[in-house]
Structure 1
Amino acid sequence: MTTVGKILVLFIMAFSLILSAVSSVVFTTSKNWKVATEAEKKKVNDLTTKLRDAEAKTAAAQKDLDTEKINYDAQAKQLNDRIAAVEQQNQLAQQQITTANGQVATAQQNAKTALEEAEANRKETLQLRELKSAVEAQAAEFKLHNAEQNDKIREMERALEAATKNNTDLRERVAKYSTLLRSSGLPDDITQVKGLESPPPVVGEVTRVDATNRKLEASIGSNDGLVAGHELNLLRTSPRPEYLGRVKVLSVDPNQSVLQVIGNTYQGKKIQEGDIVSSTIKPRL
């Protein structure tokens, strides 16, 4: 039995006691018992009707209370489910926030790295621009220098063309001079032509004489300044100084030379090893 039911029972019992007391008083004091009884019955009926109405209302109230309790339990369950769902959503949102914070930190680090790279790229771009300007200036200078070199090359080509032409002319002239020299009995070798000049101051010994007594070898050569064509005096110093004639250099090595007697020796004397060839010792005839 619910609390409301208990209250109603107590109320009914109290009401019954009161009614009994009132009835007793009425019965003892009333002269018209029938009227009084009828009146009391009517009151009892009224009270019974009211009690029934009250019980009906109590039952309806209990029913409404049970309905409200069921509704409350259902709403409480819905609210608890919604709270659990909200808590789950909050937990998921918190995880998403944590993930987002990590992503934000990563994005910030990436942005910082990107800014550093952009700054490095900007500096590198400035350096490249400066280098490009320097290279362009150098290229312009190189073009100017190249143009100057091309002008010089063209001038040199013209000079080479003129030199080639002059060289051809000189070759033709040298060929003519060589032919003229050979036809005159003179050598066309420039080293031999130098032999026509005065020989350097030299003194050497005859180291070998051929069987014809016309050619001989001496101990002086190109290291001493001799060239083919030089003419030297041929002398003898022992047992007494005497002049033997003139010799002409035919060929030279660094330390020796081959000479030929010009004409005949003085008084037909034979040349001997140890005789002297010299450009500085003059003959005494």
Structure 2
Amino acid sequence: MSFVGKILVVVQVILSVCFMGFAGAVYTAQNNWRAESKKLEGNLKNIQTSMAELESEYSNYKTETTQKVNDALSEAQKAKAANKLLEQQSKSYQNQLETVRAERDTSVAQAETTGEEAKFRRQESGRQRVVNKTLHNTVNDLRAKIKNLEDTIFTQSIREKNLVAKQNKLLNELKYLNKIVANLGVDPKDPAIAGMQSPPPAVEGLILNTKKDKRNGTKFVEVSLGSDDGLSKGHQLFVYRFGTKANGNRPKYLGKIELVYVDPDKAVGTVIDAAKNGVIEKGDHVNSKL
């Protein structure tokens, strides 16, 4: 084979390859265009469906809007008729107002003729109201005072009855006791009998303060107990102090006091028995029983 023939064979092969590639490209492009066409057709159908839905909605909206417009026109007609009726009523009221004004002017003229007399009567009535109010307030104050006095009298009468009953009871008891004392042959005025009293209740308190009289050496102590605790003048209390751990916390006896002055919440006593090895101080304890 000649050289030219070889070249032609090569060219033919190259052209065949090119045509095959071109054919493949055309086939691929055809498939792509077909797919794109189907996609566009689907989009078109969707758009057409949306258009149909929008046309349906627009038709419904148009119908509803038309109905609303018709209703609004009907309401406007009714409002126009009502406005016309109101205008007629306004004219009627205006005529009535003119009539009332005329009657008012007539009444004012009549009132002016009797104005001075009415003014005098008003002034007199005002003065009388002031007097009546003052009298009314005075009567109310007197009634309140009378009510308070009646309540006080009633309360005092009940208290008086109770006191009289209590006094009668005490007098009867005193007579009975005097009879018993007389039968026993004891003189009630005997100092030993007069000083007798019931023993103090079981109480416990503290020494609040101590003070010594420089003139006679009597030592006074103030305790945290009083008549509210059942104590009275003449009662005797014992004074002691708590011990330490060294002696087993045993209390230490410091002496005995006798109350000479009693308040509801505290009392004052004098030392009648002092321990030789202890001094009563603030903070010590007092007890009615050892």
* TM-score where L is the length of structure 1: 0.38
* TM-score where L is the length of structure 2: 0.38
